[in-house]
Amino acid sequence: MTSRRIFLKSSGTAVTGIGLASTLTSTLASCAAGNRVNVGLVGCNGMGFSDLKAFLGNSQVECIALCDIDESVLNRRAEDVEKIRGKKPANLYRDWRKLIDNKDIDVVIIGTPDHWHCLIMIAACAAGKDVYCEKPLGNSIEECNLMVRAAQKYNTVVQVGQWQRSDPHWLSAVDFIRSGKLGKIRLVRVFSYQGWCPSIPVLADEPVPAGVDYDMWLGPAHNRPFNRNRFHFTFRWFWDYAGGLMTDWGVHLLDYALFGMNVTTPKSVMAMGGKYGYPTDACETPDSLQTIYEFEGFNVLWDHAIGVNDGAYGRDHGLGFVGENGTLVVDRHGWEVIPEVVSKVKRMEAVPLVKSTGEGLKNHVKNFLECRQNRNRNTNASVEIAAHIAKFSHLGNIAYRSGNKKLTWDGARFTNDEEANKYLIPSYRDPWKLPQI
């Protein structure tokens, strides 16, 4: 397990100074075409392919390999690449290890469910590949620790799919927060209310669909009968493979709570929630959850719900930095400041909406390509940054799963609950083993 010092250091640029938006502009402006970059994608159904399309928006990139355990997805995505670039990838794999062994591949894009990220990324690092990995970085705190060590050991350039780190309006919001104009900030309210995301009904187990390598899909996860609820997309509602809305949206939004406040490790965490909206559906993860992270002088509050759109400030997702003078509200559409009015006295002027460019993912991939060309490991969402916030999100889930307790955290383990510490390190199904780095 990492020490407190390493955990604090792992936030990377999360503790750097102001001027973030101007730094991003400068970085993107200097991004050159460079030499050809051969990429291979593992996990082609969903954000993995969205990431690949963003890569193929750069002329120096060629997709030479796709890998997926579902043959129908693999063939469909090969045809999609042909529509974009005029030819199919030369190599189609069902086993990700064969893609890693392909010496012509420079970059591995990992778009699999969360429980596979650790093994594939570490293997790619050891093979000398650079990595673009979907978020969250790992499905447990120890996996994140190992992935950081692997990237450092093999000098791998890593970008994790927290593309808000490359979206200028998010960075300009942080500049404003750190300016002090909001006054003392007591609370950062972070929320994700996803009305479009319904519950899933209980379904019977069934035979594995034709063309699906289900044993490889399970990988290190527990051996269970095939069930469509645990497969494409809805895998995220089961603890074996993911962490529900907390790790799905939390790594994006909680990241900016800590980034804006220039902090890392909480003193304690507690969570309350459950299956309040859909008590009899098939999900394991809670449909409603409130988590409080305690820091010195302020708290971070996480609040999520599926099937409901009414979050805070008239939004379905975002953050509210609640200051003495006003509240800065930021989401994917932009940021604004709502003045605090006390006894009819307005404590600061409003700031009208600063709109998003809508090019966060595009910018994120460009930043990665430039960094790997220059062998600069300090990407906008480096493995250190991504590990820090993934672990932070997992703390909230562990607090929930431990049963409404206030857990104290020293940066590496819980100091008041040994049962909670059992969630830190995953148990892998044979023959898969947790890597030793």
Among the listed residues 111, 117, 158, the one whose alpha carbon sits nearest the alpha carbon of residue 137: 117
Q: What percent of the chain has a predicted confidence (pLDDT) above 70?
A: 92
Token match 């379905």: residue? 316
Q: Is 322 strand, coil or helix?
A: strand
Average pLDDT for the chain: 92
Q: Are residues 141 and 153 in the same domain?
A: yes
Q: Are residues 140 and 245 in the same domain?
A: no
Q: Are residues 269 and 409 in the same domain?
A: yes
Q: Mean pLDDT, to the nearest integer, of 289-303? A: 98
Q: Mean pLDDT, to the nearest integer, of 101-111? A: 98
Paired sense of beta strands 288-294 and 299-306, if any: antiparallel
In this prediction the pTM is 0.91
| Tokens at 136, concatenated | 């969250």
Per the domain annotation, does 428 fall within a domain? no
Whether pLDDT at 10 is above 60: no
Whether pLDDT at 100 is above 70: yes
Q: Are residues 331 and 376 in the same domain?
A: no
Q: What percent of the chain has a predicted confidence (pLDDT) above 90?
A: 90
Cβ neighbourhood burial of 17 (10 Å; 0-12, 13-18, 19+): exposed
CATH number, domain containing residue 180: 3.30.360.10
Q: Are residues 88 and 27 in the same domain?
A: yes
Whether pLDDT at 296 is above 80: yes
CATH number, domain containing residue 145: 3.40.50.720
Cα-flanking dihedrals φ and ψ of residue 346, to 5°? -85, 125
Q: Are residues 375 and 407 in the same domain?
A: no
Cα-flanking dihedrals φ and ψ of residue 70, to 5°? -105, 110
Q: Are residues 268 and 324 in the same domain?
A: yes
pLDDT class of 114 with cuts at 50, 70, 90: very high
**Cα dihedral: 83, 71, 208, 222 (round 10):** -100
Q: What is the pLDDT of residue 198?
A: 79
Q: Are residues 400 and 307 in the same domain?
A: yes
Q: Mean pLDDT, to the nearest integer, of 296-306? A: 97
Q: What is the pLDDT of residue 264?
A: 86
CA separation for the pair 374, 33 (Å, rounded): 12
Whether pLDDT at 33 is above 90: no
219-256: pLDDT as tens digits: 999 999 999 999 999 999 999 999 999 999 999 999 99
Per the domain annotation, does 433 fall within a domain? no
Q: Mean pLDDT, to the nearest integer, of 35-62? A: 97
Q: Mean pLDDT, to the nearest integer, of 8-29? A: 41
Q: Are residues 100 and 239 in the same domain?
A: no
Considering its fold, how many domains does the chain have in total? 2
314-346: pLDDT as tens digits: 999 999 999 999 999 999 999 999 999 999 999
Q: Are residues 227 and 282 in the same domain?
A: yes
| Tokens at 157, concatenated | 């350039």
Instruction: Give the DSSP H/E element, type plus range, for residue 151.
Output: helix 141-153
Its domain, for residue 175, covers 168-356+392-421
| Tokens at 437, concatenated | 């780095």
Cβ atoms of 96 and 67 closer than 8 Å:
yes
Q: Mean pLDDT, to the nearest integer, of 182-193? A: 98
Count of alpha carbons within 13 angstroms of residue 380, beta-carbon side = 31
355-406: pLDDT as tens digits: 999 999 999 999 999 999 999 999 999 999 999 999 999 999 999 999 978 9
Q: Are residues 269 and 400 in the same domain?
A: yes
Per the domain annotation, does 426 fall within a domain? no
Q: Mean pLDDT, to the nearest integer, of 125-139? A: 98
Amino acid identity of residue 127, one-letter, is A
CA separation for the pair 245, 257 (Å, rounded): 16
Q: What is the pLDDT of residue 30?
A: 39
